[in-house]
A and B are shown apart, each in its own frame.
Chain A
């Protein structure tokens, strides 16, 4: 449901772009017609889980949490993943926010769940590849148009979001 919420935000931002004919607006506009599932009653307290393709003793040698997860204010647990899949690692913020409070925090970019989600993804990438891939967007070729700015806002949030 985290995803559905973020999707709605993406749709809201993207709807403004419909006139500009950008693909994201088209995609989002037709997506809106898909019935959404019931709201997740556990939305703000669910564990965020990710699977790392490394054995548990490499993910947390001598019980030490890997960076950058270690720096986040979160409860963390982990276990060996089924089969040959490595290690399942779960985290959730110690600080729970719900309702309007959570929405506002997310809009301000201060959602603790987003912070945990990003930390999980970066921890996985560091352990598996030794690095966190950066996007070419850092060297912009894009012209700063107004629709572009709206899209940036919508995408900026969505990119950190996701089901995870």
Chain B
């Protein structure tokens, strides 16, 4: 079959690879009908995530049709139109049973790597390096889905492919940031980053009752999109001091909940970008935590900061003093999608959430390398490139 493969730092190509196979009795094979780029892939492309090999199939946010199931699959059958969570859960370990699916203890066949890096094993993720289990990604004609009874969700009739697609990763990630960040009715919420994840977090905050939501980015088209489709206020961080602006908009308090949806390649107009950039290049620092620092500074006393952006290792100049003295709560996680996907599909069916607008560019799988070039460099207003292998 055809698949989009990682070949090295900033190098992708479309290749013929062997078809996937059912390796466990609880697996299914899904024919991929749509698969999208995600900011997390940019960290792979940039070489910031360890344990990639030339030839690895990437992609993790997708929908498709079940075409084959293993003998122990009970909730799905061939023909089901499904959205699959980007993170793989077993459904039965203590973490999965407590709805912390990205902490699953049985879905990563290479548990030693994350155990060593972070002092604990984490779940398998499609197309996300050998540290996350060595699972093949979804930018392909077919994909194997382990523990399919727990990881695939039938898409209700009337919900379009492109709306369901983002219920795989961007929408549940955003929802988790707002919900576990503790958004309550009446809150003021600030979101750093207006990619697919940040926009979904901003929308989730509004649906959870936030009175005001303020989204921050530098790209005018992304800011305009957030204002129009999410219905929130925006700040262009290149034209102002974000912390001062937030204070002025919140009676001097700062936002109650700050959601960071930028990640380890954060940008800045100031000296921080130079400082972290140099340290990252010299391997003295692994990740650039610019937006995390700003969120901690801007947050109101006693408020909470949720880190949705992906980080892999160690960071510098972490404002622990501000965190401690202002009594903040800091959390982060890879998304616990299985906890939110059914609810999100409901919200989509009711018309309260319409993530399909994120798909600014739809193309064939052959155009994968071009899609990533556009997505990475934000060319032509690209927010998400969606590949349709069978179109």
User: Which A positions have Cβ atoms within 8 angstroms of B?
Assistant: 3, 6-7, 10, 14, 20-24, 26-31, 33-34, 51, 53, 85-86, 121, 124-125, 128-143, 145, 148, 151, 155, 158-164
| Set B3, B18, B106, B113: member contacting A129, Cβ < 8 A | B106
| Set A26, A27, A51, A138: member contacting B23, Cβ < 8 A | A138
* Interfacial chain B residues near A130, Cβ < 8 Å: 26, 72
B94 touches A141 (CB 8 A): no
Task: Enumerate 28 A-B pairs (CB-CB under 8 Å) in ascending A order.
Answer: A10-B116, A20-B8, A22-B47, A23-B9, A23-B47, A23-B52, A24-B52, A27-B49, A27-B313, A30-B284, A33-B283, A51-B94, A125-B106, A129-B147, A130-B26, A133-B24, A134-B23, A134-B24, A136-B20, A136-B144, A141-B17, A151-B51, A155-B110, A158-B110, A159-B109, A159-B110, A159-B130, A161-B112
For A86, A131, A161, which residue has the most chain B Cβ atoms within 10 angstroms?
A: A131
A29 touches B283 (CB 8 A): yes
A129 touches B92 (CB 8 A): yes
| Set A14, A29, A53, A158: member contacting B97, Cβ < 8 A | A53
Is B44's beta carbon under 8 Å from chain A? yes
Report Cα–Cα, A127/B25, bound state, in Å: 15
Known: A22-B8, A30-B313, A136-B23. 8 other contacts (CB 8 A): A7-B116, A10-B116, A23-B47, A26-B283, A30-B314, A142-B55, A159-B109, A159-B112
Given contacts A34-B314, A133-B146, A141-B136, contact A158 B112 (CB under 8 A): yes
Q: How far is the CB of A116 from chain B (nearest CB, A)?
A: 14
Given contacts A51-B94, A137-B134, A141-B136, contact A155 B116 (CB under 8 A): no
Given contacts A133-B146, A134-B24, contact A143 B106 (CB under 8 A): no
Q: Which residue of A lies closest to B280 (CB)?
A: A30
Is B79's beta carbon under 8 Å from chain A? no
A136 touches B25 (CB 8 A): no
A30 touches B285 (CB 8 A): yes
Q: Which residue of B lies closest to A7 (CB)?
A: B116
A139 touches B21 (CB 8 A): yes
B94 touches A85 (CB 8 A): yes
Given contacts A27-B312, A53-B97, A124-B106, contact A142 B56 (CB under 8 A): yes
* Interfacial chain A residues near B115, Cβ < 8 Å: 3, 161-164
* Interfacial chain A residues near B286, Cβ < 8 Å: 26-27, 30-31
Is B153's beta carbon under 8 Å from chain A? no
Given contacts A21-B47, A135-B135, contact A31 B111 (CB under 8 A): no
Q: How far is the CB of A126 from chain B (nearest CB, A)?
A: 9
A141 touches B15 (CB 8 A): yes
* Interfacial chain B residues near A3, Cβ < 8 Å: 115-116, 119
* Interfacial chain A residues near B92, Cβ < 8 Å: 53, 128-129
* Interfacial chain A residues near B120, Cβ < 8 Å: 163
Given contacts A23-B48, A134-B23, A163-B116, contact A139 B314 (CB under 8 A): no
Is B50's beta carbon under 8 Å from chain A? yes
Q: How far is the CB of B263 from chain A (nearest CB, A)?
A: 15
Report Cα–Cα, A72/B25, bound state, in Å: 25
A124 touches B51 (CB 8 A): no
Report Cα–Cα, A145/B90, bound state, in Å: 33
8 A Cβ contacts from B18-73 to A: 18, 20-21, 23-26, 44, 47-57, 72
* Interfacial chain B residues near A142, Cβ < 8 Å: 53-56
8 pairs of A and B residues whose beta carbons are closest in the complex: A162-B115, A24-B50, A27-B50, A159-B110, A162-B112, A142-B55, A161-B112, A141-B17
Report Cα–Cα, A73/B140, bound state, in Å: 44
Q: How far is the CB of A150 from chain B (nearest CB, A)?
A: 11
Report Cα–Cα, A81/B268, bound state, in Å: 47
| Set B21, B50, B285, B314: member contacting A23, Cβ < 8 A | B50
8 A Cβ contacts from B98-123 to A: 105-113, 115-117, 119-121
